[in-house]
Amino acid sequence: MTASARVSQARLRAVPLAVALVLLAGTLLGGVLVGAAGLPAGGVLRALADRVPFVHVDSGLGAVGENVLFQLRVPRALMAALVGGMLALAGAGYQGVFRNPLADPYLLGAAAGAGVGATLTIVLMPGDPGYVVPVAAFAGAICGVLLAYVLGSAAGRGGGAATLVLAGVAVSSFLAAVQTFLQQVKAEELQRIYSWILGGVGSADWRQLALVAPYALVSTAVLLAHGRLLDVLSVGDEEAASLGLSAARVRLVVLVAASLATACAVAVSGLIGFVGIVVPHAVRRLAGGSYRIVLPLSLLGGAAFLELADLVARTVIAPAELPLGVVTAFVGGPFFVAVLRASRRQVDT
């Protein structure tokens, strides 16, 4: 081949992938090792090794320690990773579909819808509603996006991106008004509602994980499969059509998958901002703008980022905890500025 063969196409390369995997593994380990119970690191590592098939070590943690580790810390660490990964992946998907790096997973009313669902449950169900809150938030998020999509498609022909965004804004503010109304009616529940809105994975357990994991898996598979098509879509609907691609169809599939991912995250963690915009953008700056790179690295990077944020949330003012949404904004802002400054790569979409 000639000199042209030397130029290869944009694809996920080994080094950035390895870096992202190491970051995720490192933060996951941090999430498991650090905690209020003060378990010895060696014991935790031995207890984890003991769970590996055919390996038997005595952790020396005792029954209580083992319980703290496997019923509290491990599910919480996994949940933080799942939520972060889903939000960043969904953000990248939304950005590709709307061809706008500032699109975030809550653009089409997922957040406001989930807010209504969760608030309704808290207001209507006396006592501890338990798993009804995540289920209602999940349903609310899906309904919000569905409403925006139906309205947007009815207003503009063929699901044009701009009308969809406008419909999303309208649906979001309407649902936010509903949510505010509900919480004013039951002002005594304000604190519980707010603590849900501010977000966190402190209540994570295996059952919650099992609840959202299947949806998370499906949307991850769908989104990762659409990297090339999102790259084609970056030339706009009309040119994509001239290349034989139906932009409206790709947009619908990606939006469904990304909204499902968002709903998973929102259902179990409340409203955590910033991850969906910052992580994909950092990935673009550092590793390249093709969606074949942005999607997988956002998944891993988002998981690592939120894992770290959760670690900060539960250690800074221990034994009390900061709301996770506050930490992501607090950590994410300066981090974002640093990434913008450090990278000379000019990538916008």
Question: Which stretches of the chain bind another protein, using CB under 8 A?
Answer: 1-5, 7-10, 225-226, 228-229, 231-232, 234-236, 238-239, 241-246, 284, 288-290, 345-349
Of residues 165 and 306, the one with the C-beta less far from another protein: 165
What is the closest distance, in whole angstroms, from the C-beta atom of residue 245 to another protein in the complex?
A: 6
> In the complex with another protein, which residue's Cβ is closer, 56 or 344?
344
Query: Please, what is the minimum distance in Å from the beta carbon of residue 36 to another protein?
Result: 44
Indicate the residue among 191 and 346 with the shorter CB distance to another protein. Answer: 346
Rounded least distance, CB 349 to another protein, Å: 6
Identity of the residue, 160 or 202, whose beta carbon is nearer to another protein in the bound complex:
160
Q: Considering beta carbons, is residue 231 or 310 the nearer one to another protein?
A: 231
Residues 224, 292 contacting (CB under 8 angstroms) = no
> How many helices (H) does the chain have, and how many strands (E)?
15, 0
Say how far apart CA 12 and CA 51 lie, in whole Å. Answer: 32
Beta carbons of 127 and 138 less than 8 angstroms apart? no
- Residue type at 225 in one-letter notation: A
Closest approach, Cβ 237 to another protein, in A, equals 9
Cis amide leading into 53 (omega within 30): no
Q: Is 148 exposed, middle or buried (0-12, 13-18, 19+ CB in 10 A)?
A: buried
Q: Which is nearer to another protein, 185 or 225 (CB)?
A: 225
Would you say 65 or 101 has its CB closer to another protein? 101
* Chain centroid offset of residue 167 CA: 22
Nearer of residues 218 and 235 to another protein, judged by Cβ: 235
| Shortest Å distance, C-beta 342 to another protein | 17
Three-class SS state of 39: coil
Instruction: State the Cα–Cα distance between residues 255 and 93, nearest whole angstrom.
Output: 7
Contact 272, 302 (CB under 8 A): no
Q: Say whether 309 sits in a helix, a strand or coil.
A: helix
- What is the closest distance, in whole angstroms, from the C-beta atom of residue 337 to another protein in the complex? 20
Say what the alpha-carbon torsion angle 22, 268, 312, 89 is, to the nearest 10 degrees: 40
Kindly give, in sequence order, each residue whose CB lies less than 8 Å from that of residue 267, ignoring residues fewer than 6 positions away: 114, 134, 135, 137, 138, 141, 211, 212
Shortest distance, position 267 Cβ to another protein, whole Å: 28
Report the nearest approach of another protein to the CB of residue 192 (Å). 43
CB of 239 to another protein, least distance (A): 6
Q: Toward another protein, which CB reaches closer, 163 or 234?
A: 234
| C-alpha distance from residue 303 to each of 81, 130, 221, 279 (Å) | 4, 25, 16, 10
Q: CA-CA distance, 128 to 229, in Å (whole number)?
A: 45
Nearest CA to 161 out of 113, 99, 68 is that of 99
